[in-house]
Chains A and B, each alone.
Chain A
Amino acid sequence: MKTIFYLIRKEFIQIFRDKFLSRAIFGMPVVQMLILVPALTFEINNIDLCVVDMDMSSESRQLVSTLQGSEFFLLKHTTFSDEEADKMLHSGSCDMVLQILPGFGRDIIREGGQKLMVKVNAINASSAQLSWAYMRAVLHDYNAELIADNMLLFRPPQLSVIETETRFWYNPQLNYKYYMLPGILVILVTAIGLLLAGLNVVREKETGTIEQLNVTPIRKYQFITAKLVPFLLIGLVDLAFGLALGMIVFSVPMNGSIAMLFLYASLYLAAVLGLALFLSTMSSTQQQYLFIVFFVWMVFILMSGIFTPAESMPGWAQKFNLINPVAYFMRVIRMIMLKGSGFSDVLPDLRGILLIAVATISLAIWRYRKTV
């Protein structure tokens, strides 16, 4: 319909004439990619470690030097005093204390077992868990070395060893940026949908220009389409821009089909824009809208699995995620980019986001009234 064409034209003129907006549109991908990506990381290295060596045997010293050589730990201090180490932990000078109890070296070949104590500052649970995991990994390697060295002294036939070899696919270096960057792209695209588009509509309400349109014969669907289309296009352009930046600057892989990604992104944007329109009908001022959107956005993003595994969430949270569009895109973008998932892999999520898009846009159309 020609009316839609005229309306869309007006939208684009307004958007690009607004200096602030046009700068935001091109600035956001740059800022998010270059500033947020390096910052948002759970990757930990150089864990501040304090060792209390009460044993001082050759075995304990070997253990300490293994730890020194490890890239995970930064051996900050070795001491004889348990108290001193505890003080360091309490004050935050170190994050982890490894206590080697007397008799470690002597008993190790005979009994092994509980002669080591690890104390972790666990206020940040996820870092604590990872640090603990790394410590175990180092101990495991040390253990293997010991076994190899002592094979002859030992009663070999009786000891059965299961050897494990670990491989990480799709991201062998476990580069955290490969994981976070798609997540940030999702945030970028969502911001355009919820924030920019929604504020735009509420502004028309607040200044009253929407009434001038309500008086004309334009139909609801024309108005809504004219609001959706420009921001959908801008969202896709920003996605492309951010993606390109990510690939160039961080060498993030793009193993799947770009077409698939953009198809999915379009559906996702439609869902989010529908939601923005729906929420805008419930706000009369921009400030109100900002708060409603912040609330909704925060809930959706936290639940989406952006930095914690969504599958580990309790049952009710997983059910909630069935209607959480961010959760869908978060999953799909990582699947496509990092694992090269294809159409059949993504199909169930495709159906889901389509349903949500239809639902939100219908809600928006239903609530938008030309006559009050």
Chain B
Amino acid sequence: MNGEKVIEVSNLVKKFGSFVANDNISFDVYRGEIFGFLGANGAGKTTALRILSGLSKPSSGDVKVAGYDIYRNAENVKKHIGYMCQKFSLYEDLTVAENIMLYGGIYGLAKKVIENKTDELLESMNFTAFRKSIIGDLPLGMRQKLAFAVAILHEPEIVFLDEPTGGVDPITRRQFWEMIYKASSDDITVFVTTHYMDEAEYCDRVSIMSEGHIVAIDSPAGLKEKYSASSVQDVFVKIARPDKNKKT
């Protein structure tokens, strides 16, 4: 970590009608770190992530991603980021190679470069045999890993991951996180939302959201010390107890 801020958020507010999804949150993310965004469902994680990736406009507040102002330069931001969400990422009716070719082309990579990267990527994951397989035919774990690989294909500065390991077995989750470590060591900043508490332990820093607010933000070790807890999960339970009246 070299202290350069790649994401700067101050006083971000996002309202949907009268419902306040993000209530005046502020935080920064530094280059190369793995930044975890924890919280219960409905806490506002996905909303914030969508704003950072340019899919949604803030109601108010300052947001800067990769040095660009999200209000005025959303399109430039998009050139420097990658994105992957749990529900869908790759076209299910296209093959692995076709998906890579598509996104590579969209991000402006030359044809040759895309082909080389495809070979590299498939080899490193041992998926060479599946080059021509239709995504819809592959198991979920493979799809997720491929989606991540495609998200960082164009070597973005930051990659946003929205609950990327949902519904996947523990071994595959572990493998996925190896890929995240590798990306981080290649100086790609990883911004990941999750509600798996054990994954929080793998992050460099973690922020905990509850009902639209950030209630804590620190490294896992720091949080555990501060709240005298043995795991991030315990920290979470201590400070982000879901409200009795809250609807799930």
Contacts and interface: CB of A to CB of B under 8 A. Distances in A.
Q: Check A-B contact in the complex, CB < 8 A.
A: yes
Interface stretch (B53-61, B176-184, B199-207): B53-61
B196 interface: no
A371 B74 contact: yes
Given A10-B91, A13-B94, A207-B88, A216 B106 contact: yes
A351 interface: no
A209 B103 CA distance: 13
Contacts of A84: none
B93 A14 contact: yes
Contacts of A370: 54-55, 74
A104 to B, nearest CB: 75
Interface stretch (A1-9, A50-58, A249-257): A1-9
Contact of A215 (B57, B83, B101, B108): B83
B87 A371 contact: no
Given A3-B106, A5-B105, A215 B55 contact: yes
Contact count band on A: 20 to 34
A218 interface: yes
Interface residues of B, number: 27
Given A13-B94, A13-B98, A14-B93, A3 B88 contact: no
A215 B54 contact: yes
Contacts of B57: 371-372
A17 B91 CA distance: 12
Contacts, number: 72
Contact of A10 (B55, B79, B98, B107): B98
Interface in A1-42: 2-3, 5-7, 9-10, 13-14, 17-18
Nearest to B56: A372
Identify the interface centre among A2, A208, A215, A372: most chain B CB within 10 Å of its CB: A215
A216 B56 contact: no
B89 interface: yes
Contacts of B88: 207-209, 211-212
A112 B183 CA distance: 102
Nearest to B154: A216
Contact of A217 (B79, B85, B93): B79
Given A217-B78, A217-B79, A211 B98 contact: no
A61 interface: no
A76 interface: no
A218 B54 contact: no
A121 interface: no
A14 B75 contact: no
Nearest to B83: A215
B55 A18 contact: no
A370 to B, nearest CB: 8
A216 B74 contact: no
A55 B55 CA distance: 86
Contacts of A216: 78, 103, 106-107
A14 B106 contact: no
A372 B51 CA distance: 10
A369 to B, nearest CB: 9
Interface string B79-122: 10101010111010110001001110111100000000000000
Contact of A211 (B85, B101, B108): B85
Contact of B93 (A17, A214, A372): A17
B55 A214 contact: yes
A136 interface: no
Contacts of B103: 216
Nearest to B53: A215
B34 to A, nearest CB: 20
B14 to A, nearest CB: 11
A161 to B, nearest CB: 74
A5 B114 CA distance: 15
Q: Lowest 3 A-B CB distances belong to which pairs? A: A6-B105, A215-B83, A217-B78
7 contacts: A10-B102, A17-B93, A17-B94, A214-B55, A217-B75, A217-B78, A372-B56
Given A3-B108, A7-B102, 8 more contacts: A3-B105, A208-B87, A209-B88, A211-B55, A216-B78, A370-B54, A371-B74, A372-B57
Interface of B: 53-57, 74-76, 78-79, 81, 83, 85, 87-89, 91, 93-94, 98, 101-103, 105-108
